């Protein structure tokens, strides 16, 4: 598996998927931007590009991953945490060597991305 989902993340994603159309996938990857150069992309998608994407069943969730993102996100764990202020997904990426103070962007040793101003 390229990434893993905790049970808490799986339960939250399954709830969110109920609001989506049938045959929807979770898409996880990265895009350029943020203070440190890369930002995570997490959302739902109905389309798979056979040439550029892989699909894996991860903890009962069908996940699309853009093949070029694999070296940047391999080994990442997605969790969902609930607290008094609400809840949100947290992403633990062992490849990230630098994170922004706001926590929404990162960079790896090999991939700098395209840093923006915070």
pLDDT digits (tens, 9 = 90+) for 75-88: 999 999 988 778 89
| Domain ranges across the chain | 3-108
Question: What is the pLDDT confidence band of residue 114, given thresholds at 50, 70 and 90?
Answer: low
Helix (H) or strand (E) holding 32: strand 25-32
Assign domain 3-108 one CATH number from 2.60.300.12, 3.50.50.60, 3.40.50.20, 2.40.10.220: 2.60.300.12
Would you call 95 exposed, middle or buried from its count of C-beta atoms within 10 A (0-12, 13-18, 19+)? middle
Task: Kindly report, residue by residue over 24-39, the tens digit of the pLDDT.
Answer: 999 999 987 666 678 8
Asked if pLDDT for residue 44 goes beyond 90, the answer is yes
Rounded to whole angstroms, how far apart are CA atoms 21 and 23?
6
According to the model, what pLDDT value does residue 67 have? 96
């Amino acid at each position: 598996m390229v990434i893993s989902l905790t049970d808490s993340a799986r339960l939250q994603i399954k709830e969110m998927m109920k609001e989506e159309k049938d045959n929807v996938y979770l898409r996880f990857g990265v895009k350029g931007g943020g203070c440190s150069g890369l930002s995570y992309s997490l959302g739902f998608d109905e389309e798979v590009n056979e040439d550029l994407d892989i699909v894996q069943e991860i903890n009962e969730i069908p996940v699309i991953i853009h093949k070029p993102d694999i070296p940047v996100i391999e080994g990442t764990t997605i969790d969902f945490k609930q607290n008094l202020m609400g809840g949100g997904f947290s992403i633990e990426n062992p490849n990230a060597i630098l994170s922004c103070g706001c926590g929404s962007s990162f960079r790896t040793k090999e991939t700098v991305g395209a840093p923006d101003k915070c």
